Structure 1
Amino acid sequence: MGLSGTSRLRVRYAETDQMGIVYHANYLIWFEVGRTELFREINLPYTRFEEQGFSLAVIEANCRYRKPARYDDDIKIVTTIDKVTTRSVTFSYLVYRDETLLAQGKTVHLFINKEGRHTDIRDTDLWRQLQMIISNN
């Protein structure tokens, strides 16, 4: 698929541990920043999902740490939509400081309805919007 977006952030002191290195769980938060901004860039913010009665539930998350990020680093998060089906979305992430790859990861999300049940979005405006965006990129 390959629809991608780039987000930037500066490492905050609160994100680091006693050794001055970014605590590992913060990368998952950065992944969320990346996918939220990617959806916003394609004019499909999470609020639009919610307005149509859907959410995205994380069912898989992984991260491979390559190099440490530290306080005040300028971080770039490249987020790519790898796969979209009527039931799920898969994202991949690359986290950089300058040109140095710090981490790479993947998350898989299921579409769920207001009752928290896994759902198929095939006959929805949301699915039609996603299909239009994907076909234009």
Structure 2
Amino acid sequence: MQISTKEIEVRYAETDQMGVVYHANYLVWMEVGRTQLIKDLGFNYAEMENEGILSPVIDLQISYKMPMRYGQVAMIKTWIDYYDGIKVIYGYEIITPDGSTSVTGTSSHVCVKKDSFRPIRIRKLFPDWHEAYEKAKKKEE
């Protein structure tokens, strides 16, 4: 299983009145992690969009364990938790500077045609992506 990492410095604008990162910002960080994983696998999501294919979120799960604060550096770990040629579930762990888990989560995606929103088979239209995802995904135990 391939795990990509990406550091993000917590900006003041990402915090709320309690001085902690506003909960929705973790979702943005998960997207940053997902983009990094795709890049690490040798692909570019924008190129897929240019070919008329989108990858919307169809399900999202997130668990908040410990808040992050302004000035800290978050480490986003991202991997392919599940992949079957049509649906992809990305896994995430956001780590605090001392190594504690701040957030865990998953996001589920399917690829669809931009004009009709009809699902496509990744393995058929993007065989390179399919092969890379098969190699990088979490192995079943």
TM-score (norm 1): 0.90
- Report the CA distance between 1:85 and its aligned residue: 2.2
What's the CA shift string for 1:26-45, capped at 9, x where partnerless?
11110000000110111111
Residue ranges of structure 1 left out of the alignment (5+ in a row): none
**Structure 1 Cα separation of the partners of residues 65 and 50 of structure 2:** 38
Q: Which structure 1 residue ranges, 4+ long, deviate > 3 Å from structure 2?
A: 134-137
- Distance, in Å, in 2 between the alignment partners of 1:55 and 1:102 is 29
* Higher share in strand: 1
- What is the distance in 1 between the residues matched to 2:84 and 2:51? 17
How has the CA–CA distance of structure 1 residues 135 and 57 changed in structure 2, closer, same or farther, with 3 Å as cutoff?
A: closer
Identity of aligned residues (%): 34
Q: How far does residue 136 in structure 1 lie from its aligned partner after superposition? A: 4.9
Structural mapping, 1:1-137, within 5 Å: 2-98=1-97, 99-115=99-115, 116-124=117-125, 126=126, 128-134=127-133, 136-137=135-136
CA RMSD of aligned residues (A): 1.5
Structure 2 unpaired stretches of 5+: 137-141
Give the 3 Å change call, closer, same or farther, for CA 5–46 of structure 1 in structure 2: same
For 1:61-98, what per-residue CA distance to the aligned partner results, in whole angstroms no more than 9, with x for missing partners? Answer: 11100001000111100001112222211001000012
